[in-house]
Amino acid sequence: MNSQSVIHTGGQVATLTHLQRLEAESIQIMREVVATADNPVMLYSVGKDSACMLHLAKKAFYPAPPPFPLLHVDTTWKFRAMYELRDRAAAAAGMELIVHHNPEAMEKGINPFDHGSLHTDMWKTDGLKQALTKFNFDVAFGGARRDEEKSRAKERVFSFRSANHRWDPKNQRPELWKLYNTRKGKGESIRVFPLSNWTELDIWQYIHLENIDIVPLYFSEPRPVVERDGLLIMVDDERFPLREGEVPMMKSVRFRTLGCYPLTGAVESNARTLPEVIQEMLLTTTSERQGRAIDHDQSASMEKKKQEGYF
Amino acid sequence: MNHEMKNPVYVTDALISQDIDAYLLKHQHKTMLRFITCGSVDDGKSTLIGRLLYDSKMIFEDQLASLENDSKAVGTQGGEIDFALLVDGLAAEREQGITIDVAYRFFATDKRKFIVADTPGHEQYTRNMVTGASTADLAVILIDARQGVLTQTRRHSYLVNLLGIKNVVLAVNKMDLVDYSAERFYDIVADYSHFAKQIGMDSFLPIPISGLKGDNIVSHSDNMHWYQGPTLLGHLEEAPVSDTRMMDQPFRMAVQWVNRPNLDFRGFAGQVGAGMVRPGDAIRVLPSGKTTTVKSIVTYDGDLDLAVAGQSVTITFADEIDCSRGDVIVQADQPCEVADQFEATLVWMAEQEMLPGRPYLLKIGTQTVTATVTEPKYEVNVNTLEHLASKTLGLNAIGVVNISTDRPIPFEAYAQNPDLGGFILIDRMTNATVAAGMIHFALRRSQNIHWQALDVNREAHAALKNQKPAVVWFTGLSGSGKSTIANIVEKKLHALGKHTFLLDGDNIRHGLNRDLGFTDADRVENIRRVGEVARLMTDAGLIVLTAFISPFRSERQMVRDLMAPGEFVEVFVDTPLEVAEARDVKGLYKKARSGQLKNFTGIDSPYEQPQNAELTVNTVELTPEDAAERIVQYVLREMS
């Protein structure tokens, strides 16, 4: 299916569909970055939003490959299936893949079982800052959407970060029309969110329509899980420390979001195809982020994380 | 209070559970509408947005559970569901004292996806409203039915109109609190109509609603059988989007990026701003003006045989001509203008006030140039719409200024094409976006055209005709007798062997200036062109007679400044309005009085009398013949 072509018969041109309009907008944003940035990079987290963003990048610069590398800020605790897709997708796009591990977290053996929120802080938040500084990236694409969470509803498409990567909500620039002010001072950087106006359903529909390669974990399959604190956690490798009496059960589960496997809750499901996933999503009655442990402490936690430099 | 929760119509489509593939197919063809809601907290804006999210099932069960909890704890609806809490992000900010901003919310129905720009309504947030409105296809202006049209309603409407939003909904909210009174509704609509006309808003759609109770939101209200128009959501689903409007215009695309992956490929990437383009179309690259044809329209999904406004594409040319980021590709036979001086409206968005004369960066389309801004011609009081004298613009101020850029840029009037007429100003030191602007028209376009040295100069032309060239500029109301007198003057001069030419509305408006209307801007451009033509004719040694209302002093001064000293003779044909109207030779006054003719001088457009005219002829006291004779005597005396 070619979502770019316009339906036209006998001189009558139809209005662009919502996905065509969103696609054109995202492409416009990406090109604006490439035309004005010194050293851009695309943050790639291997989730469905990243997959969508990567696909849009291929379209934006075709027939050239996207003129920037992919950066995966890894925690070493992602699902194995994510690492497989990551390497495959980067190669298919003809892009350089940079994988960054926070050396300090590596050395201290930071993990989600023993270190709680320190795990995210060190691997992801600190890791991202290290990588951006190390490679001197001035603009980083991220796959965040405004519909994900209340505090993101007001997020700019071009989000400015100080030289020490902090987000200052008081100092964001007004964005009019599609005129993005891409100027920045020495050491400052910009996070750019080309998917700002997409919703979860838009993403799924686009993946379906464009046949985009995504991690199979989004589809249901019998997988070994244990139940902890109300979440179904998949035992993805031998590093998973089972508690006393805990035995992994095989359940038909899938994931609505993907992160570090010990922190990501699965949902019981029979959705094995994309249409079935979309069907389940449309019929579902809980919002997307419920499966992520990070949000559960306090509703303002995302805002706080963002100010600290987490995406 | 018995709070009736209407059953949402847009509950999960039965197709989802029965035939998901059919559902997806159907939803592929959804369109997308972006709109802005304007109103303060008291108008029930948050409640309305919350209602739309709720009724279109954009609220999940966990959110609903927390909404119910919050409603009991902090709600304002006596424990009933408080929809406003769904969109309280901004309220929270207000309490914390941080940025009050634009929040974007999303919902969808079977027909459309919607993006709502939600902005606070108070005066100090003009900046945010303008930001939200800049990308909107439609505006919903909320009015509290108990309050009617308020100052803030006017402000919101002015801003919405300023940003060129053509589709305006006047949502008269809280109808439940005025007993669903049709009379109250129509009073408000009449009141608003009057105001809308004043600000030049062409049309709007009034809908009586109750966001809280759900009346006329999704389905027609049982409480207002007297209202037969569309429901709010019904209208949002049908209203045209801006891209569709832009498709009818000549092709325009600002080049964002040149795609050059190897020596065999050179493509120009951009988003089509207006019109459409096909392979083989003749195009022109501005500002250079070089022409070629479109070879192909390249996309990842294969070459296209047509691209339309709104699509992001890559275009290749048949010939190797220069083209880079910032250039605009246009239809060859209908290019846009290129200029370096403009009149524009500015909305100032920074704490630090505007500094006339300071160089700012100006980003328009895909290019950034250096620009300076003059002192405002006037500032607009957004509450009263009064024009105020001002030396500068502060945060949230709106004013009209002249802007000059360090090089000529392709542009179009904002009202015609926001893509090529809207711009931002950036402070060069702080990199902050300090203003948004909308171009009205270009000024003094000829400045950058280099003069060719002519061997046969104006003196030579004049000498051969044995006369001194001059422009005799007749100004006065419609029907004052300008053309009549000018005609007689020409006959007399001709009889005396003088080489003359008469320019009047009839031979100019039908040809050279047939693209101009009667707005103030067009009148200015009309006179500018006439002035330029008259000047060329004086260069040719002619005595030029012009008969135009030319109502504004500044343009008559502009023409005077074009001419060599002493060659401009301003003749004020002084006829009182009542006399001219009583004559009404062409029946125009009658039309203007009945509203059929807009911007008619003396009626709803001003006439500024000359203060230092060389000659004034009073047509009440003088016959046309006598008036003409006086002018001829003056010319013979002063121009020999």
User: Phi and psi of B137, rounded to 5°?
Assistant: -85, -25
Contact A19 B28 (CB under 8 A): yes
- pLDDT tens digits for range B503-513: 987 788 888 88
User: Phi and psi of B485, rounded to 5°?
Assistant: -65, -45
Bridge-based pairing state of the strands A158-161 and B543-547 = unpaired
Q: Is B117 on the interface with A (CB under 8 A)?
A: no
Could you tell me if B475 and B615 are in contact, meaning their C-beta atoms sit under 8 angstroms apart? no
- pLDDT tens digits for range B366-382: 999 989 888 889 999 88
Could you tell me if A79 and A112 are in contact, meaning their C-beta atoms sit under 8 angstroms apart? no
Mean pLDDT of B222-233: 93
- pLDDT tens digits for range B443-484: 865 444 434 445 678 888 888 888 899 999 999 999 899 999
CA–CA distance, B346 with B435 (Å, rounded to integer) = 6
The arrangement of strands across the sheet holding A40-43 comes to A97-101, A70-74, A40-43, A139-141, A189-192, A158-161
Q: What is the model's pLDDT at position B330?
A: 95
Q: What is the model's pLDDT at position B78?
A: 61
**Cα atoms in the 13 Å half-sphere on the side-chain side of B337:** 19
A154 to chain B: closest CA residue: B103
Q: Which residue has the tokens 């408006």?
A: B509
A15 to chain B: closest CA residue: B244
Question: Which contacts qualify for B450-458: CB closer than 8 Å, 24 or more apart?
Answer: B458/B538, B458/B539, B458/B540, B458/B541
Task: Using alpha carbons, list the distances in angstroms from residue B517 to A61, A209, B244, B345.
Answer: 43, 48, 25, 20
CA–CA distance, B409 with B629 (Å, rounded to integer) = 49
Q: What angle, rounded to 10 degrees, do the helices at B126-134 and B151-162 form?
A: 40
Q: What is the model's pLDDT at position B24?
A: 81
Q: Decide if pLDDT at B11 tops 50.
A: no
Q: Decide if pLDDT at B337 tops 50.
A: yes
Q: Decide if pLDDT at A282 tops 90.
A: no
Could you tell me if B351 and B395 are in contact, meaning their C-beta atoms sit under 8 angstroms apart? yes
Q: What is the model's pLDDT at position B298?
A: 96
* Nearest one of B319, B275, B282, B312 to B297, comparing CA atoms: B312
pLDDT-derived band of residue B326, with 50, 70 and 90 as boundaries? very high
Which of B93, B301, B306 lies nearest to residue A8, judging by beta carbons? B306
In one-letter notation, the amino acid at residue B282 is A
Could you tell me if A59 and A85 are in contact, meaning their C-beta atoms sit under 8 angstroms apart? no
Q: Is A147 on the interface with B (CB under 8 A)?
A: yes
pLDDT-derived band of residue A150, with 50, 70 and 90 as boundaries? low
CA–CA distance, A253 with A261 (Å, rounded to integer) = 13
Q: B275 to chain A, minimum CA–CA distance in Å? A: 11
Q: B200 to chain A, minimum CA–CA distance in Å? A: 22
Bridge-based pairing state of the strands B500-504 and B470-475 = unpaired
CA–CA distance, B36 with B132 (Å, rounded to integer) = 6
Q: What is the model's pLDDT at position B604?
A: 86
- pLDDT tens digits for range B43-60: 777 778 878 877 766 555
- pLDDT tens digits for range A198-219: 988 899 999 999 999 999 999 9
More confident residue, A179 or B604: A179
Could you tell me if B280 and B360 are in contact, meaning their C-beta atoms sit under 8 angstroms apart? no
Label each residue of A94-124 as H, E or C: CCCEEEEECHHHHHHCCCCCCCCHHHHHHHH
Residues 420..449 of B with a Cβ closer than 8 Å to A: which?
Answer: 422-424, 426, 431-433, 436
Could you tell me if B498 and B468 are in contact, meaning their C-beta atoms sit under 8 angstroms apart? no
- Beta carbons within 8 Å of B435's beta carbon, 6+ residues apart: B346, B347, B348, B349, B350, B354, B360, B393, B424, B425
Neighbouring CB atoms inside 10 A of B11's CB total 10
Mutating which of A29, A154, A176, A188 best tests the B interface, going by the most B Cβ atoms within 10 A? A176
Collapsing DSSP to helix, strand or coil, A156 comes out as coil
Collapsing DSSP to helix, strand or coil, B385 comes out as coil
pLDDT-derived band of residue A308, with 50, 70 and 90 as boundaries? low
Six-digit token string for B124: 């100090």
Q: What is the model's pLDDT at position A287?
A: 55
pLDDT-derived band of residue A241, with 50, 70 and 90 as boundaries? confident
**Cα atoms in the 13 Å half-sphere on the side-chain side of B551:** 18
Q: Decide if pLDDT at A289 tops 50.
A: no
Query: Kindly report the CA angle at B37 between B272 and A170, in degrees rounded to 5?
Result: 85
Could you tell me if B557 and B547 are in contact, meaning their C-beta atoms sit under 8 angstroms apart? no
Q: Decide if pLDDT at B253 tops 90.
A: yes
CA–CA distance, B521 with B200 (Å, rounded to integer) = 14
pLDDT-derived band of residue A299, with 50, 70 and 90 as boundaries? very low
Instruction: Give me the DSSP letters along A29-96.
Output: HHHHHHHH-SSEEEE--SSHHHHHHHHHHHHHHTTSPPSS-EEEEE-S-B-HHHHHHHHHHHHHHT--
Q: What is the model's pLDDT at position A238?
A: 86
User: Phi and psi of B213, rounded to 5°?
Assistant: -90, -15
- pLDDT tens digits for range A72-89: 999 898 999 999 999 999
CA–CA distance, B478 with B226 (Å, rounded to integer) = 46
Q: Decide if pLDDT at B568 tops 90.
A: yes
The catalytic site residues of B sit at 550
pLDDT-derived band of residue A62, with 50, 70 and 90 as boundaries? very high
Q: What is the model's pLDDT at position B251?
A: 96
Task: Using alpha carbons, list the distances in angstroms from residue B62 to B74, B240, B296, B508.
Answer: 18, 35, 50, 69
Q: What angle, rounded to 10 degrees, do the helices at A200-210 and A274-283 form?
A: 160
- Beta carbons within 8 Å of B512's beta carbon, 6+ residues apart: B529, B533
- Which of A271-275, A292-296, B205-209, B479-483 is least confident? A292-296
CA–CA distance, A145 with A195 (Å, rounded to integer) = 6
Q: B239 to chain A, minimum CA–CA distance in Å? A: 12
In sign, the C-alpha dihedral spanning A93, A96, A99, A100 is negative
Which of B241, B271, B302 lies nearest to residue A2, judging by beta carbons? B302
* Nearest one of A274, A230, A270 to A253, comparing CA atoms: A270
Q: Decide if pLDDT at A170 tops 70.
A: no
Q: Decide if pLDDT at B558 tops 60.
A: yes
Q: What is the model's pLDDT at position B552?
A: 85
Q: What is the largest CA-CA distance in chain B?
A: 95
Q: What is the model's pLDDT at position A7?
A: 47
Q: Which residues of A259-277 are buried (b: 16+ CB within 10 A; e: fewer)?
A: bbbbbbbbbebebeebbbb
Q: Which class for B631: exposed (0-12), middle (13-18), buried (19 or more C-beta within 10 A)?
A: buried
What is the share, in percent, of chain A residues with pLDDT greater than 90? Answer: 48
Q: Is B21 on the interface with A (CB under 8 A)?
A: yes
Per the prediction, chain A carries an average pLDDT of: 84
B56 to chain A: closest CA residue: A282
Q: What is the model's pLDDT at position A147?
A: 81
Q: What is the model's pLDDT at position B77?
A: 62
Residues 78..107 of B with a Cβ closer than 8 Å to A: which?
Answer: 89-90, 93, 98-99, 101-106
Q: Is A306 on the interface with B (CB under 8 A)?
A: no
Q: Decide if pLDDT at A284 tops 80.
A: no
Q: Is B44 on the interface with A (CB under 8 A)?
A: no
Q: Which residues of B143-173 are buried (b: 16+ CB within 10 A; e: fewer)?
A: bbbeeebbebbbbbbbbbbbbbbbbbbbbbb
Q: Decide if pLDDT at A41 tops 80.
A: yes
A55 to chain B: closest CA residue: B300
* Nearest one of A262, A102, A27, A39 to B299, comparing CA atoms: A27
Query: Kindly report the CA angle at A93 between A89 and A98, in degrees rounded to 5?
Result: 70
Residues 221..250 of A with a Cβ closer than 8 Å to B: which?
Answer: none
User: Phi and psi of A72, rounded to 5°?
Assistant: -110, 115
Most confident of A240-249, B73-82, B543-552: B543-552
Q: What is the model's pLDDT at position A11?
A: 46
Could you tell me if B213 and B173 are in contact, meaning their C-beta atoms sit under 8 angstroms apart? no
Mean pLDDT of A6-18: 60
Contact B108 A201 (CB under 8 A): yes
- pLDDT tens digits for range A96-138: 999 999 998 888 888 888 888 888 888 888 899 899 989 999 9
Neighbouring CB atoms inside 10 A of B258's CB total 15
- pLDDT tens digits for range B71-111: 666 666 665 666 666 665 545 554 554 445 778 888 888 78
Q: What is the model's pLDDT at position A198?
A: 94
Task: Using alpha carbons, list the distances in angstroms from residue B143 to B16, B87, B274, B277, B359.
Answer: 37, 19, 34, 43, 41
What is the share, in percent, of chain A residues with pLDDT greater than 70? Answer: 85
- Which of A172-176, A236-240, B118-122, B342-346 is least confident? B118-122
Contact B106 A181 (CB under 8 A): no
Six-digit token string for B565: 């000293």
B110 to chain A: closest CA residue: A18
Is the whole model's pTM more than 0.90, yes or no?
no
